[in-house]
Copies of this chain bind each other. A is one copy, B any other.
Amino acid sequence: MDELDERALDQVAAFFSAFAVPTRLRILNTLRLGERNVGDLAQALGTSQANISKHLALLARLGVIAKRARGTSAYYHIVDPRVFDLCDLVCAQVGRRLTSEIAARDALLRSARPRTPRRARPSRP
Query: Which residues in A have some Cβ–Cβ distance to B below 8 Å?
Result: 6, 8-17, 19-22, 25-26, 62-63, 80, 82-83, 85-87, 89-91, 93-94, 96-98, 100
Contacts and interface: CB of A to CB of B under 8 A. Distances in A.
B87 A82 contact: no
B97 A86 contact: no
Given A83-B93, A93-B83, A97-B63, A13 B9 contact: no
Classify the secondary structure of A's interface with B: helix
Pick the 6 closest A-B CB pairs, nearest first. A17-B20, A16-B20, A16-B19, A9-B22, A11-B94, A20-B20
Nearest to A14: B20
A37 B8 CA distance: 26
